[in-house]
Structure 1
Amino acid sequence: MKAVIYARWSSLEQGKGSSLERQMDLCERFCAEQGWEIVDRLRDEGKSAYTGANLQEGQLAQFTQRVEQGLLRDETVLVVEQLDRISRLPPGQVIAWIQRVIGHGLTIATANDKLVLDSRKLEVDPIGIVSTVFNAFRAFQESKHKSDRIAESWRIRRKAAEKGGKPITSVCPAWLKLDRETGEFAEIPERVEIIKRIFREYDEGFGKRKIASRLNAEGIAPWGRGDSKGDGWHPSYVQKILSNVAVLGEYQPHTRPRGGKREPSGDPIPNYFPPIIDEVSFARANSGRRRLSGGAVKGNLSNLFSGLTRCGVCGGKMTFVKKQSAGAMRKNRAGEYIWSVANDQSYLVCSRAIRHLECDNRNHFNYLKVEAGVVETVNHLVLDDEQFERPDEALQIEQEMVALERRVGERRRKSYTLLELYSETNNVDAKNMWLETERGIAENEQRLAELRERFLSAKGAVSPVEHVRRIQKFIEQINDEDLDIRLDARRKTMTAMNAVIDFINFGKDRKATVVFMGGAHNVKLSDKGTVEQEFSFLVELTEGDQTVTLKDGTELVAPVSALRDGLVGDDPVRQSKLDKLVDREQRFRTGMAELEAEEQKAKSG
């Protein structure tokens, strides 16, 4: 008989120990005793029999399919250490599985108690098989009861913590420790200071990679226990700190269902840990609206096309190569400095070609020239009000508007009461108070109108012609001498480009082609940054269904919906982005027409 050995363990940690070796050794010795030839060994690592995950996916599930499809040519026995290696599901489900596979000719054997289950035993002693499964089911019940007891224990601890009781566990963030005497969490001062420093530097404009680099350069050891300390600070850990609600003092309990992923359990518990960061700083770090200041370093965001470029020959990524920075000194053959480099000298080249892999597109595209051409040509399609929004100012104005609207509402109610009093009593004082209240309402409404106009401006809402003017100014800011202005403009442009540009193709013909949203708009530029060709469907998308007349006079209707589907499919996110692209094109065309009319009017006097 041919034997297939099956081993399973429910966690990766068990797999690292002796679980696999023990199961395999016991099963192999049992097969030798029975004279069975081992033809295959199946392993399900990290699959739980408690949830039945190993019967739904993995090697046992695949083997079951082969059995049911009649693909086993020889008499085959499935050998396991013990029956619960197959499943710890309720007995009814296990019996059904055993009956199913045995009915297809498979034999099942357990090495620990030398039990053999086959079609003959199923016919002669079905009660014995049921009894065997129920005995194995005891392991399922014991495991379940243990799990329930642990879960109940954690529920009790959680309720106590919510009421301000003792900590649920001694496990806490790396900047805290549990004081065994008081039973409360205490700060580790030097680590708390580093947390505050990370939030401060991130708010000042340092990136996560730069923050990690600075910590490593200063020799500040990373946190962790044992081997988990790692090899220094990483950007991913900085991000983990910035997004961890524990800095606010909150604790988010989690559960991990057997065979499942770790997931939140209930709402966060406030004031569980000592808070070390205020809510405003935390919100700013996680809103993407942090301010820029001297913390950012020169050279950041040099490549606005990061993540968008691809080689037109092999389809690989283009590598950004910075050969010399502005201000670098050039030497002559005698080693004397003769002149300095006026601008950065950077290039885009195929990453595969530069590594001498299977690509012959060795063109070096002058990055600054291509960037200038792309920005000048397409920025009106990537920028809208959002990039010009001043969120802090808008929030302040909005709060003032809400307070003023509340005062206006109160005064209107007061005015109505005074008017009723005057109409009933003809009291002069009531009349004067009513008139004074109405004047106050008029002043407040005028102030509200001014605030609404300022609010729209702070939100970035302007007329089409003003939008054209600010885009022209914004393009200049991309290479502004002021570091803060330059980085802010480059960051906004880079984010906006990634939202609507699918890719920028760099061909062997030394042309760069910018492709928007499935080809809704395309721009081909030379390696000098000059536009050589533009092809767009944006105008057609605004004009609705098109009627096409064939040579024989037949008229066909080309629905605009078909064009949209061809460009972005039925993806609602891409459809929304395409709509914004069309709106931006329309707005820009309107603004340019208004600007030209203004200039013509100014010339004519």
Structure 2
Amino acid sequence: MNQKAYSYIRYSSPQQAKGDSFRRQFAQTQKFCEENGYELDTDLNVYKELGKSAFKGEQENLKRFIEDCESGKVEKGSLLIVENLDRLSRATINKAMRQFLHLLDFVNIYTLQDKKYYSSNNEIDNDSQVLDIITSLLIMSRAHEESATKRKRLSDTWEEKRQKIKDKKFATSYPHWLILSDDWESFTLKEDAVRAIKKIYDLCINGKGYNQILRFLNDKIDQYPTPSNRSKSGLWVRSTVQLLLSDRRLIGEMQMYTGAYKERKPYGKVIIDYYPVIIDKKTFLKAQSAMQSRNIGKGKTGKYRFSNIFRGFLLCSICGNSMEYVDKGNTKKRSQKYLTCTSAKRGGECSHSRHYRYEELELLLLHLVTENGFIPKPAEPSNLHLQLQNLKEKQAIASKKLNALLEQDFTAPAIMRKVEELNNEVSHYDSEVKAIDKKLNSQVIDYKYDQLVYDLITEPNEEIKFNNRVNFNSNFSSKVKNAYVQNDLNCLLVEFVMDNDEKHRIILDQKYNFGGCSLSDGDSVYKRLNGEPFIYHGTLRDGYFWQNLERYISWHFEIKEKTFETEQKNEIEVNLKQVMSKLSQFIMKWDRSEPFLDMFDIIMKTGQLIKQSEVKNNI
């Protein structure tokens, strides 16, 4: 049986992946094994570090190979094949040598480039082994010095560029809306690009989302051409708009970076006024604030159409799937817009197949929101809003720096001092953010029901209404943990759990004409959606309907928890169904006494049956 060999391949930059580095190293390994009778392992696979630096110690798979040696997965005496010793490490000589000798405790090492064989086997000529060890020391020492020198040169080059930054611009990297002068000393603006960027910010601040901005730009593509011809369609794309709306180069800032791709990290401080200012700081902050307030969940929206404001939080109480919006058009009597369980609609296992009329339920949600003050009336961005946005940005930057430092060596005094400094800075921003939040909350004006109905339903401008509905859904969704439509009642009940763990309810009668909601103080309030109010001897008596709706809900859950004889339980359930039927009739035709008398009689009988069961349960 041939001796096992393992391959370790490393190259340090992602750019080398575009070349021949991996193929070359692996082909040489295969050739060596075939010519020398080794079996190249395929069970544990090739140990490789693609785009990883041995100087920085980023070799997770080499560490894994050493662990496999220690655990016995890699058989002792096997051969590790590398292109050169500098593939194993470019660390300081003492670290690299310790790792090299530790590997030799388990495996032999062969280097393809200089055809050297390293082993801790005592049978090998001692003088030759000593010479090989000295050679390996020289190779590792040279590898570390080369990396350190290269790193220093790069750092010096960066620092030299930073020192001359005001006199000479970087020729290799600058934004697409600028043109660099031939002497590299200044930028000029591309008028078409700047006009498009300013329009994007204007649209964003005025409530337009990414899709609306894209439609606007692409409808006027001659006036607002795309920033480059890389787009195959020749149109604006979402990612470009997103990047522009968060690009701080537009406010003149320039941040230098080291590394590439995932390893890219800021280098030095932000350089202010390096680029020409296209967007002033106040406008930039307004755009950030506008984007944060428009966090739209997944799902489809038509042009200026956001039909379902329950999207993203209303669920089926049986299967937990979302309640889907269905629009079957309008009839002469009423519109046919419904909510129904997604799973049941698609023929899934869920038995919750009922359809709930949408428009009345939407009105009751607005009733719940306005009665509890869940959503404040939108206000124009003030100086306080801009201060808050600015502080949050500074807070995020400080937190990012702090997290990066926390991964470093805490024993270094300089790092400890910087950690303490940044920790104090983050705490300072936290307290300032809370103070401004408190001021803003004190200025909040709660929506009134009629105002919210107008903004979300009757607003004549479809584009404005679309934005209002999007913002409402985003805002309210963030305050709700979950909301479930209960399925086994003869009326409509939606139960909410808010982000502060408060529980709320919406109740609608069987015919969707009358309902109400709970309040934070434990009370409740009703709302008539259709029909004339019930007035008896000059006194408004609609509260009577609400009392009986609440009584029905209470009894419904009470009989679920108690034990009844089958016949008695059936009778109670029939009575409750009749109560809701009579109540719905009486809500719209309260001038007729028959439904009222029938309902009153059934309520009395049902109450007696439930009391009788209580007596039996107690006995």
**Equivalent residue for 1:504, pick from 455, 459, 483:** 483
Residue number in structure 2 paired with 1:562: none
User: 2:363 maps to which residue?
Assistant: 372
Alpha-carbon distance, 1:175 to partner: 0.9
1:140 pairs with 2:144: yes
Structure 2 CA distance for aligned equivalents of residues 37 and 94 of structure 1 = 28
Contact 1:348 1:367 in 2 (8 A): no
Q: In structure 1, what is the equivalent of residue 382 of structure 2?
A: 392
- Is residue 318–residue 350 contact of structure 2 (8 Å, CA) maintained in 1? yes
Deviation string 1:68-93 (CA, Å, 9 cap, x unpaired) is 12233464222122222222222222
Superimposed CA distance per residue, residues 401-438 of structure 1 (whole angstroms, 9 cap, x where no aligned partner):
xxxxxxxxxxxxxxxxxxxxxxxxxxxxxxxxxxxxxx
Alignment of 1:111-510 (within 5 A): 111-120=112-121, 124=126, 125=129, 128-129=132-133, 131-161=135-165, 164-181=166-183, 183-219=185-221, 222-224=226-228, 232-256=235-259, 261-288=263-290, 299-310=304-315, 315=320, 320=325, 324=329, 345=337, 347=339, 349-350=341-342, 365-378=356-369, 380=371, 383=374, 387=377, 389=379, 391-392=381-382, 459=440, 461=442, 470-477=447-454, 478-483=456-461, 486=465, 490-505=469-484
Q: Distance between the aligned counterparts of 1:474 and 1:155, measured in 2?
A: 59
Question: Does the 8 Å contact 2:366/2:449 carry over to 1?
Answer: no
Q: Distance in 2 between matches of 1:82 and 1:168?
A: 36
Q: Which sits farther off after the overlay, 210-219 or 152-161?
A: 210-219
Deviations 1:374-394 (A, max 9, x none): 33235555626x655554397
Shift of 1:285: 1.2
Cα separation, 1, equivalents of 2:115 and 2:16:
24
For residues 117 and 153 of structure 2, the distance between their equivalents in structure 1, rounded to whole angstroms, comes to 35
> 1:525–1:207: structure 2 CA closer, same or farther, 3 Å change rule?
same
Q: Is the 1:523–1:531 Cα contact (8 Å) retained in structure 2?
A: no
1:515 lines up with 2:497 in the alignment: yes
1:31–1:38 Cα contact (<8 Å) kept:
yes
Which position in structure 2 is the counterpart of 1:599? Answer: none
What's the CA shift for 1:177?
1.6
**CA shift in 2, pair 1:9/1:304, >3 Å:** farther
* Residue 347 (structure 1) shift: 4.0
Change (3 A) 1:204 1:24: same
Distance in 1 (CA, whole Å) between partners of 2:347 and 2:78 is 52
> What is the Cα deviation at residue 135 of structure 1?
0.8
Q: Which moved more, 1:280-289 or 1:213-222?
A: 213-222
Task: Supply the distance in 2 between the matched residues of 1:247 and 1:355 (Cα, whole angstroms).
Answer: 48
Amino acid at match of 1:345: K
1:534-553 alignment runs, 5 A limit: none
CA contact under 8 A between 2:493 and 2:505: conserved in structure 1? no
Partner of 1:44: 49
CA shift, 1:174, in A, is: 0.9
Q: 1:28 Cα shift?
A: 0.8
Q: Which runs of 5+ in 2 are unaligned?
A: 295-300, 387-435, 524-619
SS in 1 for 2:240: helix
TM-score, normalization by structure 2: 0.61
Indicate the structure whose relative CO is greater, using CA pairs within 8 Å and at least 6 residues apart. 1
Q: Tell me if the contact between 2:321 and 2:341 (Cα under 8 Å) persists in the aligned partners.
A: no
How far off its partner does 1:7 sit?
Answer: 1.9
Amino acid at match of 1:180: D
Q: Return the offset for 1:225.
A: 7.2
SS in 2 for 1:47: coil
Deviation at 1:489, TM superposition (A): 5.1
**What is the CA–CA distance in structure 1 between the aligned matches of 2:20 and 2:103, rounded to whole Å?**
29
- Inter-CA distance 108–185: structure 2 relative to 1 (3 Å threshold): same
- The verdict on how the C-alpha distance between 1:21 and 1:160 changes in structure 2, with shifts beyond 3 A counting, is same
1:33–1:175: structure 2 CA closer, same or farther, 3 Å change rule?
A: same
Give the direction of change, closer, same or farther, for the CA distance of 1:210–1:106 in structure 2 (3 Å limit).
same
Q: Quick one: distance in 2 between partners of 1:373 and 1:472? A: 10
**Offset of 1:253 from its aligned partner?**
2.0
**What letter corresponds to residue 145 of structure 2 in structure 1?**
Q
CA contact (8 A) 1:521 1:535 kept: no
Q: Deviations over 1:341-371 (max 9, x none)?
A: 9758364542x66667787766655443443
Q: Structure 1 residues 471 and 301, CA, compared in 2 at 3 Å: closer, same or farther? A: same
Q: How much does 1:480 deviate?
A: 3.6
Q: CA RMSD in A?
A: 4.4
| Number of residue pairs the alignment of both structures matches | 451
The one-letter code matched in structure 1 to 2:496 is V
Q: Aligned residue for 1:25?
A: 27
Q: Which of 17, 30, 43 does residue 15 from structure 1 map onto? A: 17
Cα distance, 1:158 vs. partner? 1.6
Does structure 1 retain, via aligned residues, the 8 Å contact 2:364–2:506? no
Find the aligned partners of 2:151 and 2:233 in 1 and give their Cα distance: 32
